[in-house]
């Protein structure tokens, strides 16, 4: 965000609520953890991993295990989360220098000989060249990655290693055939159970989404009682399930997203139930899972940012309502002021007969007998003045209470209106736009955004297509500062090939999503412009992620080595946004 909230907006973000809270729902629908998704992943890994040596296994994020290989630029990532069990190859995995831990220490140095999935469950086995097995049990809330001996005894585990050691890895169960006669019998004896639930029990490998797709293709109501379905319905369901199995045998990877960017489904088949959504064809299953999880993460961050606005507003409303209730209880100040003044007047009228030292005085006030308390150490006149002072203070307090009640009512009304508008703001947009639009109103209720004036980084600054920031170094030492201290590992790094010039960094987190091709070309053109080839018609510019750039020990300022690169051919130019 371009600004931060002081006071209430710095309150710790609580668990997201409402439509943004249930991310398990999103992930379940994406079918990331479906058996057939894992089976397809295993088929791709079977041609990639055999013969590859495990370099390291580590974790730097909760419930995420990364296994890197010597001969492979991509790393294998396992997610063992209750709301997202997943496995995919990623070329974006890079080990952080801090806050990472080695796992499954018996694996490094071993080669994978075979990758297989159990015929009847989501257990993926990586056979190793010493006879041991690395097994990913990717189902349920206790998913894990285990290292087992030849006899199946678990030697180590990614999660809960102490509790898991000494247990035995489950043996593969035989494949479960799609027995439609058995399904028909199950329907007949299902009683009041729904047709969808009987299908899920009869064909457990399909999972919820594919069962729903089969019912849709057969034009069947899954909520109806299975026992009441006709033979024709069973025949239609058999045909729809068989058509799904045929498509799963030749999968085409798709991600279905909403207009707001929510990844509703990841599918290997053409999902008719996803027809209202935008379909994205993906080049491979690993890219599809990576994109789905990235979109999911963006939504989750957006929901948390949304809550950083909603929580303080809710707390402000609750606090103001409590204060208003107390103010309403104190509303009797005006009547007390009148009583004090009447007591003072009664004492003034009785001065000739009053003497110092009396503790009470009985007087008729408002048609009733009232006993007025006196201070014995004060004279009757001083006691009267004391009551007049009390009356003055009570009137002032009553006026302040009245003003306070009106102020609290206004605060509650304003905070309630802001809360309603904030709840309508899509989570993916984050709070920055809301804060800019309503900064003055938030200031009125003490929730003002504090503008954070930060010094601009000491580089040439540009904005390219998609709103992404591009920073360019000014000299050798400034290049080192940009590349080694300011750039993030996933930022894109550019440099003109074949000569000296500026290091140029496109900051990926400064915009939304992936930078478009035009943004990459503009960043490359900046690198060409600030190089010795500035006057050339076309310049070859190397592009890589910052994580693949390193500086040799003792090298001159600005000198680096890049481990991998793509080359863009561009004309030297600066974007329309001027450098700062």
Please give the model's pTM, rounded to 2 decimal places. Answer: 0.59
**Domain presence at residue 245:** no
**Domain presence at residue 38:** yes
Report the SS3 class of residue 571: coil
* Rounded Cα distance, 147 and 49, in Å: 17
Per the structure, how many domains does the chain have?
A: 2
Q: What is the DSSP string of 285-340?
A: HHHHHHHHHHHHHHHHHHHHHHHHHHHHHHHHHHHHHHHHHHHHHTTTHHHHHHHH
Say how far residue 98 (Cα) sits from the centre of its chain: 22
User: Do the beta carbons of residue 482 and residue 473 sit within 8 Å?
Assistant: yes
- Which one of 164, 189, 212 terminates a domain? 164
What pLDDT is stored for residue 270 in this prediction? 94
Measured CA angle at 393 (ends 388, 399), to 5 deg: 130
Q: What is the DSSP string of 30-80?
A: HTTT-HHHHHHHHHHHTTTSTTPBEEEEEEEETTEEEEEETT-SSEEEEEE
Largest CA distance in the chain: 115
**Domain presence at residue 256:** no
**Domain presence at residue 309:** no
User: Do the beta carbons of residue 431 and residue 3 sit within 8 Å?
Assistant: no
Edge-to-edge strands of the sheet including 492-496?
460-464, 468-472, 504-507, 492-496, 539-545, 566-570
**Domain presence at residue 350:** no
Question: Tens place of pLDDT for every residue, the chain, 580 residues?
Answer: 323 332 233 233 233 323 333 333 333 444 678 999 999 999 999 999 999 999 999 999 889 999 999 989 899 999 998 777 999 999 888 888 778 899 999 999 999 999 999 999 999 999 999 999 999 999 888 899 999 999 999 999 999 999 999 899 989 999 889 999 999 999 999 999 999 999 999 999 999 999 999 999 999 999 999 999 999 999 999 999 999 999 999 999 999 988 877 788 899 999 999 988 999 999 899 999 988 888 777 777 777 777 878 888 998 899 989 888 887 776 655 578 888 889 989 899 888 888 888 899 898 887 888 899 999 999 989 999 999 998 888 888 888 888 888 888 888 999 899 888 888 776 555 566 777 777 778 877 777 655 444 456 789 999 898 889 999 999 999 999 999 999 999 999 999 998 899 999 999 988 888 899 999 999 999 999 999 999 999 999 999 999 999 998 888 889 999 988 999 999 999 987 544 4
**Domain presence at residue 575:** no
**Domain presence at residue 513:** yes
User: Do the beta carbons of residue 163 and residue 146 sit within 8 Å?
Assistant: no
- Which one of 164, 179, 214 terminates a domain? 164
Helices (H), 141-223: 161-164, 180-188, 195-202, 207-217
* Token couple for 531: 């190089």
* Rounded Cα distance, 287 and 32, in Å: 12
- Which one of 164, 180, 212 terminates a domain? 164
Q: Which domain holds residue 56?
A: 31-164
Q: What is the DSSP string of 222-254?
A: TTSBGGG--HHHHHHHHHHHHHHHHHHHS---E
Polymer length in residues for the chain:
580
**Domain presence at residue 376:** no
* Rounded Cα distance, 196 and 211, in Å: 7
The CATH number that applies at residue 133 is 2.30.310.10
């Amino acid at each position: 965000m371009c600004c931060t909230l002081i006071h209430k907006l710095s309150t710790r973000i609580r668990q997201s609520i409402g439509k943004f809270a249930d991310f398990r729902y999103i992930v379940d629908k994406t079918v990331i953890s479906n058996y057939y998704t894992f089976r397809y992943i295993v088929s791709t890994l079977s041609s990639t991993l055999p013969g590859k040596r495990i370099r390291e296994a580590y974790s730097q994020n909760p419930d995420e295990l990364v296994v890197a290989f010597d001969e492979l630029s991509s790393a294998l990532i396992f997610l063992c989360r209750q709301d997202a069990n997943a496995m995919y190859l990623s070329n974006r995995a890079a080990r952080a220098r801090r806050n990472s831990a080695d796992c499954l220490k018996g694996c490094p140095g071993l080669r994978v000989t075979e990758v297989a999935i159990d015929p009847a469950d989501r257990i993926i086995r990586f056979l190793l060249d010493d006879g041991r097995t690395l097994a990913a049990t990717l189902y349920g809330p206790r998913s894990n990655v285990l290292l087992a001996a030849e006899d199946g005894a678990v030697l180590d585990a990614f999660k809960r290693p102490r509790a898991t050691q000494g247990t035995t890895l489950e043996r593969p169960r035989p494949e479960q055939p799609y027995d439609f006669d058995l399904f028909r019998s199950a329907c007949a004896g299902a009683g009041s159970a729904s047709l969808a639930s009987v299908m899920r029990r009869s064909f457990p490998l399909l999972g919820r989404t594919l069962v729903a797709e089969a019912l849709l293709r057969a034009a069947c109501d899954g909520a109806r009682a299975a026992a009441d379905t006709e033979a024709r319905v069973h025949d239609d369901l058999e045909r729809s399930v068989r058509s799904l199995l045929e498509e799963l045998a030749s999968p085409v990877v798709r991600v279905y997203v909403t207009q707001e960017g929510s990844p509703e489904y990841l599918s290997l088949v053409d999902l008719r139930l996803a027809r209202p959504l935008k379909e994205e064809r993906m080049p491979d299953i690993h890219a599809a899972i990576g994109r789905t999880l990235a979109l999911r993460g963006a939504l989750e961050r957006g929901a948390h940012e949304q809550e950083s606005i909603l929580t303080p507003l809710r707390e402000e409303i609750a606090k103001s309502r409590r204060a208003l209730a107390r103010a309403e209880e104190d509303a009797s100040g005006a009547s007390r002021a009148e009583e004090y003044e009447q007591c003072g007047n009664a004492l003034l009228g009785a001065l000739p007969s009053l003497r110092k030292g009396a503790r009470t005085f009985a007087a008729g006030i408002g048609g009733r007998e009232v006993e007025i308390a006196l201070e014995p150490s004060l004279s009757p006149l001083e006691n009267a003045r004391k009551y007049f002072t009390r009356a003055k203070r009570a009137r002032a307090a009553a006026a302040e209470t009245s003003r306070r009640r009106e102020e609290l009512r206004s605060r509650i009304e304003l905070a309630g209106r802001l809360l309603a508008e904030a709840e309508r703001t899509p989570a993916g947009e984050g709070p920055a736009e809301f804060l800019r639009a309503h900064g003055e109103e938030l200031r009125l209720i003490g929730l003002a955004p504090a503008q954070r004036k930060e010094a601009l980084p000491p580089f040439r600054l540009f904005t390219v297509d998609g709103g992404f920031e591009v920073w360019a170094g000014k000299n050798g030492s400034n290049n080192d500062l940009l590349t080694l201290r300011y750039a993030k590992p996933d930022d894109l790094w550019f440099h003109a090939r074949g000569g000296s010039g500026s290091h140029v960094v496109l900051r990926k987190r400064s915009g939304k999503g992936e930078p478009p091709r035009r943004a990459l070309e503009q960043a490359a053109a900046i690198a060409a412009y600030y190089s010795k080839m500035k006057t050339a018609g076309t310049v070859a510019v190397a592009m890589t992620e910052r994580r693949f750039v390193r500086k040799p020990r003792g090298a001159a300022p600005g000198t680096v080595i890049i481990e991998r690169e793509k080359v863009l051919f561009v004309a030297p130019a600066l974007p329309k946004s001027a450098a700062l």
